Structure 1
């Protein structure tokens, strides 16, 4: 009995197995070969957006056929109004030759605002999984007729409305769709497809559906918050977090083109963490292979009082670029700076090819002046590049101009930032009202944690523009003036949204529809090198004689470069100091420029004390050992001087007086003037300080004779022949000292009694 039961069960299992594995059972369709996918796109011009589209297509080895290249665009400004019918007409014409290829899959996509995130195999696999003959992109917003919303089929989840920027289907079916087009080039393509899709009979007959959950098409309009970047080892994907999908086609439709530019800085292989920038060296210009360097017009703009302007011009002069290839245009809006420009022009007028200055007497606005500079290059066929440079930019990299030219972009700027801050010359994103918004990658780019070239929506202060772009895509004049925007914002908005005006041969009102799609010239910022920094012009007070002296807080790096001795850092790296007397240390601290300007500032103030005992400037009103001096407080420099002590003197104190930690505090800070006629020497005394610094502000034997300091306890004298050098010594008890007579000329020293 058990044996019969076993035989029965075994025969049932065999029959079941034969049924499951029968060759008559449904089989999964064979994958469509990738050579059976043809991409059709419409582009009448090779814009930056089109070239980016082709770059992403070539990366994945798509077969692309471009329709309409060189034609006049008659499809309207599709970014702002209805239109785009010309795309359907071109697609209809192309499909007539493909209609009988039943195994051919056609992918019709836009090009100016679209990139691929995946390859042909993936898109074909997902198309097969959709199990329809025609698949349209979908979006959450309806356009162009909101009244049609209620006619759309209800769906449980996903995006409900059709978008015409992406269509995929078998060739015969795509042909049957577009063959119904009988409208005009300026009619709306999306409305045409929408009405066809909303017809239940058409939808069933042509087996059409939408890509509701963004498996293939990701339209960004209304969906920016759904999208984030997914970094892989070889490339970067766009991920839809709502549907957990990895779309293959990313479309910056509507007002999301700036966001698409940001995504395309990474997708598909533009930049990733492992390889960095993959395309930074594509199409570069090798200057060494050129017969001669390109001609560059440098536009220099001084729109407000700017610190360190002479230093700016020195850096311009030291750019590593043939000076006979540089033409200089300067717009100066500040009378205060005329003396600086005049001095630079007198010393270097024969250095550059040309040198033109437009001064404040012309009464030009910023926008007008910048238009003038750009127009000079635009009108000159020999002007290869226009280099716009604001005077708050300190280019520390002498190769800057060469490096920008080599990158071969229509508009590119070097990254410059304010020292120690995140303030830079670019924005990574825009707010809804068109102003600053921080992009996710802004901080990493500014801090150079991500190094490359970045397509950005706004730049200012310094950038290079191709002359050919000025005479073509950017040929419209007055680009720095737009509504109520400042000149930089006006330029960037015009560049981003640059659209050709009416065609010359179509002056009629209907020529509104002859507008071409926005050219969308891309602006790039590069942080591949350290180029320099931005200085702060805020609160720059020009009421002093030497105003840059007061910039120690606002622009500490530039202040240090100008005023601190070039060998100062060697004090710590190479023990670059001397000890001429016991516990008297001698070291470099001020540059010659600092010494000269401090002396000039004091003489400009002019109220020297006269070396009298009665002194209302100090507590008690009586000075035991008076000098002929001016206090730092009198010229409004006491806070700056104390900061100088803490930043540059205190570290030396720690080095030479081991175990003593100074507060860097001083009440008595002053410049002393020794002359045989007024006060030639100072009698022996102790200073009311823990330690004292004494900085020589001019040169012995050149500016004066005699002078120096004698320490009685050690019978040791210091003649102080070195301008800008300071000696430091204890103030009380051990270091009784006197000022030796100045026998001729005028001797200046800066004194501080520290930690009284």
Structure 2
């Protein structure tokens, strides 16, 4: 029996002792190091003048003969992921080519990779142990799914000296297809991205390499394998059923995640195997990123995210020591609740003197939306001096925050923020910085919908596709930090990254893609990982599709499109406490009084009516109502005159009907009305209203301004009970029956102007 297999067999029978990963250097003072730096973990390749870090031997007999060898000329996000998975399972890793320029071509566009073979050949020439087992594997798009023990066991079972990964597709020379040996079951074609074998056999295999760095390593190994004499001499076979290696290209439908007993594996359902190594070869980088969110045991149902607290960086205590962040506010179109956006921006918990504010406003200052644009001007006027620097870019100018950060060596991060983002968590910026990732977005969603600011997958043409875990992530059934192919609306990106890998000034440019998609496309092509975190609740994003700018206060009409934001802006902060804290008062029999509107809601409604300006004359003849005659006329404007009747009924159904049903048990309103209007009382116009019944089952009367401040006098008197409400509170609603029992009158307004909103509900 071969001596190497004897040692291997003995190693599998020996005691289960802990394994040792590559040597690491201590992290820099004051920082937590999670991912081992390439220069610290592994030895440099041939041609490097760096001090060689020794590959530590394992104390376990037999297993110490296994050495993982890879080529990585650059420390990428994919390489760091590879090292993390190797460290998780205690593999020893030797890295070749560190610090060298990559001359091996672009795998995505043409064959290449010869530089890998050259570096491997030089490294193996220095190795003498004939029992050494070499695993040569790509690293940028590879993850380990299991430990060395399982790998060695499956290698032994292959009963060959060299085992290559297999593929169902032949590349790069289809003319060699007929020369590949047929297999009884499984993949027939060789994949050069991973192979494993004894040192002498691998040396023999690559001894005749004389190609250029840009030549194809895949073609080189394929020609060896398809030569019967060489195949027999070297003793090569393929891992046809993907027991050791799983190449994803051509096999995406075969591979699923397997969750079992707190572990996550990739399972090949076609061959019912559990590969030890998963390789996102060719155009499957997004799929390996998806699998890498779970393997090896990154996220499990039992333990959730196991690495989300690793590699965190702590922010310094002093404000002046915080990283310098350029906050880019992007205003692409008129957006609701923009005043609230800037209020929240001001509340962001981060030293203002460490923020550079960049506002890119693409909304032209047209007359109909000039008040909207003035929100930006007002914020800069009132608070701009708090920030380290302010730059406001008008629509005619061309510039972006990443470009400014590239020019500024002191810029540590760019925090890109679209104006439609409702950032409820004022610690968002700190949370993202502490994650210490190259590019990360906080997950935000559209209220009540599955729409979010990230994509879990891409379609074949590069647009949105739903990943298997998308709904679970959005609904927070799976919580963690996720590698995704697309983020938008709000994200943090490192300044050093913008000055290196993402230094292309055309990051946002494309002939066919919108700026966000173009940006993410360029980021993916550079191999930079984009992450989204749902470990905290960050906020939501507004719907802007149907936002109109033809009115004075356009946000009033957003009760359908953005109901949560509408409620926060316009419904009294104590409304939700009405039942719990008994905030409903009864100043007169069967008259209920409760908080409904905020001061802003009252002001906006009054200003909208005055802006409309078409107040009725107060006469009995009124063509606006059915029959054309009003028994008890007022100076008013109806809700339908400003096209607000649908929104008003929504208000009644959502916020008044629940109280009606509570206070008048057994009655269930449909919130129907013929008349809903705003009344204006002035001493010299119409100061009061004579006694009358309302044409309603019940009436809502909301005070829209403040007695004593805006007007004197006023109020409502219920004659049957000789009971008056003479000091109505702004934003509070009176609710009372309309017919028979509650004959009432409007008391005289003696000074100023009084406004009330009245609804005759269920006439």
- The alignment's TM-score, normalised by the length of structure 1, stands at 0.92
1:418 aligned to which of 443, 446, 451 = 446
Q: Which residue of structure 1 aligns with residue 182 of structure 2? A: 154
Q: Deviations for 1:470-506, whole angstroms, at most 9, x for unmatched residues? A: 11121221200023111011110100102xxxxxxxx
Structure 2 counterpart of 1:284: 312
Secondary structure of the structure 1 residue equivalent to 2:333: coil
Residue 475 of structure 1, aligned match among 503, 509, 529: 503
Please point out which of 326, 340, 364 is paired with 1:311.
Answer: 340
Matched, 1:352 2:387: yes
Alignment of 1:454 with 2:454, yes or no, is: no
- Where does residue 343 of structure 1 map in the other structure? 378
2:533 corresponds to which residue? 526
Q: What residue number does 1:751 align with?
A: 758
Q: For the residues of structure 1 that align with 2:396 and 2:600, how far apart are their CA atoms?
A: 31
Cα deviation for residue 130 of structure 1 reads 0.4
Q: What does 1:180-579 correspond to in 2, within 5 Å?
A: 180-288=208-316, 292-334=321-363, 335=365, 336=369, 337-362=372-397, 364=398, 369=399, 372-498=400-526, 520-579=527-586
Cα distance per residue 1:16-37 (max 9 Å; x no partner): xxxxxxxxxx999544622111
CA contact (8 A) 1:31 1:125 kept: no
- Deviation per CA, 1:58-111, whole angstroms, max 9, x where unpaired? 00000110011101111111222111000000110111122x422211100000
Q: Within the alignment, does 1:689 sit opposite 2:696 as a pair?
A: yes
The reply on whether 1:593 has 2:600 as its aligned counterpart is yes
1:36-75 to 2 correspondences below 5 Å? 36-75=65-104
* Structure with max Cα Rg: 1
> Is 1:703 the counterpart of 2:710 in the alignment?
yes
Distance 2:673 2:132 in 1: 86
Q: Check whether the contact 1:412–1:525 (CA below 8 A) recurs between aligned residues.
A: yes
Alignment match of 2:154 (pick from 102, 126, 129)? 126
**Which secondary structure does the structure 2 equivalent of 1:350 belong to?**
helix
Q: CA deviation at 1:324?
A: 0.8
Equivalent residues of 1:271, 1:277 under 8 A apart:
yes
| Contact 1:400/1:531 (<8 A) preserved | yes
Distance in structure 2 (CA, Å) of the matches to 1:443 and 1:27: 49
Match of 2:731 among 724, 728, 731: 724
- Structure 1's consecutive aligned runs of 4 or more residues displaced over 3 angstroms after TM superposition are 26-32, 288-291
In the alignment, is the contact (CA less than 8 A) between 1:696 and 1:722 conserved in 2?
yes
User: Separation in 2 of the partners of 1:720 and 1:644?
Assistant: 24
Q: Distance in 2 between matches of 1:162 and 1:720?
A: 87
Bigger shift: 49-58 or 79-88? 79-88
Question: Aligned runs of 1:615-634 on 2, under 5 Å?
Answer: 615-634=622-641
* CA offsets 1:683-727 (integer angstroms, 9 cap, x no match): 000111110010000011111111000001100000133110111
**Aligned residue runs from structure 1 range 56-95, under 5 A:** 56-95=85-124
**Paired residues, what number?**
702
Give the 3 Å change call, closer, same or farther, for CA 52–660 of structure 1 in structure 2.
Answer: same
Q: How big is the shift at 1:287? A: 1.0
Q: 1:112 aligns with which of 132, 140, 146?
A: 140
3-state SS of paired residue (1:752): strand
Counterpart-to-counterpart distance in 2, 1:483 and 1:642? 46
**CA RMSD of the aligned region, Å?**
1.3
Deviations 1:723-747 (A, max 9, x none): 1011100011100000001111110
**2:262–2:301 Cα contact (<8 Å) kept:** no
Report what 2:658 is aligned to: 651
- Counterparts of 1:672-687 in structure 2, within 5 Å, are 672-687=679-694
Aligned residue for 1:572, secondary structure, equals coil
| SS across alignment from 1:528 | coil
Identify the range of structure 1 (245-254 vs 482-491) with the bigger mean alpha-carbon deviation.
482-491
Partner of 1:501: none
Q: Which position in structure 2 is the counterpart of 1:97? A: 126
Determine the C-alpha separation between the residues in 2 that align with 1:350 and 1:233. Answer: 57
Cα distance between partner residues in 2 of 1:558 and 1:547: 13
Measure the CA separation in 2 of the matches of 1:29 and 1:545: 82
- CA distance in structure 1 between the aligned counterparts of 2:757 and 2:634, rounded to whole angstroms: 12
Q: CA deviation at 1:666?
A: 1.3
The secondary structure found in structure 1 opposite 2:414 is: strand
Taking structure 1 as reference, are residues 28 and 254 closer, same or farther at Cα in structure 2, changes over 3 Å only?
closer
In the alignment, structure 2 segments of 5+ residues that lack a partner are 1-5, 13-61
Contact 2:446 2:541 in 1 (8 A): yes
- Contact 2:8 / 2:152 at 8 angstroms: preserved in 1? no
Unaligned 5+ segments in structure 1 are: 1-25, 499-519
Whole-angstrom distance in 2 between the partners of 1:353 and 1:699 = 40
Distance 1:581 1:231 in 2: 64
User: SS at the partner of 1:483?
Assistant: coil
Match of 2:591 in 1: 584
User: Residue by residue, what CA displacement relative to the aligned partner does 1:593-643 show, whole Å, maximum 9, x if unpaired?
Assistant: 000000001001101112110000111000001111000000000000000
Question: Following TM superposition, by how much is the alpha carbon of 1:233 offset from its aligned partner in structure 2, in angstroms?
Answer: 2.9
